[in-house]
Amino acid sequence: MAKFYTGAGDGGSTGTLTGRRLAKDDKLIDAIGCADELNSYIGVCILYLREEKIVSELRLIQNDLFIIGANLASLGYSGVKKPILDEKPLKRLEAGVDALSKNLPELRQFVIPGGSAGAAHLHVARSISRRMERAIVTAANQYNLDRSIIAYANRLSSYLFVASLYVNQAESAGERHPTY
């Protein structure tokens, strides 16, 4: 039977693909953890969505997030080919934002997260994505990170926001806006 624990992290450190151990509160480990959390939450989003083009994109995003996590976990390691997030996923996200927003009304005010269940979950994913982006930028101040990851993280939150608006429109859920 497979063993699902090692005890190696009981002292507060975790291993990376480099073989190096880092403190569990290291900025790089935080960025990896945020990517993992977002990936998990996107799995939840998929459960609540009926729009196949969004579900298909979210599945691709989940794979992209694994590439990001592996890229971050392999910093400084020359023993294997480092997983790289090339510009194709970034361009794919941009095309997705453009396609989904084509029939949306012009946005002139902030949107209160909510609407349909699927859109509400996409809003949570968007906020996790923003946290991941902040964690990656913070880690980039300490480590030599692949800069394409930062651009991808930025575009990903835009995609998730537009997808939430699209889902609400498709499901006639409407948007609520703050009053000041």
pLDDT digits (tens, 9 = 90+) for 57-73: 999 999 999 999 999 99
- The pLDDT of residue 77: 62
pLDDT tens-place string over residues 71-114: 999 876 666 667 788 899 999 999 999 999 999 988 888 988 89
Whether 61 is covered by a domain: the verdict is yes
- The pLDDT of residue 62: 98
pLDDT exceeds cutoff 80 at 19? no
Whether 84 is covered by a domain: the verdict is yes
Whether 4 is covered by a domain: the verdict is no
Provide the domain limits for residue 58.
Answer: 25-102+109-170
Rounded Cα distance, 104 and 119, in Å: 14
Domain of 82: which CATH number?
Answer: 1.20.1200.10
- Is residue 54 within 8 A of residue 137, CB to CB? The reply is no
Confidence of residue 122 (pLDDT cuts 50, 70, 90): very high
Whether 96 is covered by a domain: the verdict is yes
Phi and psi, residue 75, nearest 5°: -55, 130
pLDDT tens-place string over residues 125-170: 999 999 999 999 999 999 888 889 999 999 999 999 999 999 999 9
- The pLDDT of residue 126: 98
Whether 83 is covered by a domain: the verdict is yes
Whether 17 is covered by a domain: the verdict is no
- Is residue 18 within 8 A of residue 77, CB to CB? The reply is yes
Q: Is the pTM of the predicted complex or chain greater than 0.85? A: yes
- The pLDDT of residue 98: 97
Rounded Cα distance, 57 and 40, in Å: 15
Helices 117-140 and 147-170 sit at what angle, rounded to 10 degrees?
Answer: 170
Whether 78 is covered by a domain: the verdict is yes
Q: How many domains does the chain have?
A: 1
- The pLDDT of residue 26: 92
Whether 175 is covered by a domain: the verdict is no
**Token reading at 83:** 């997983």
CA 80 to chain centre: 25
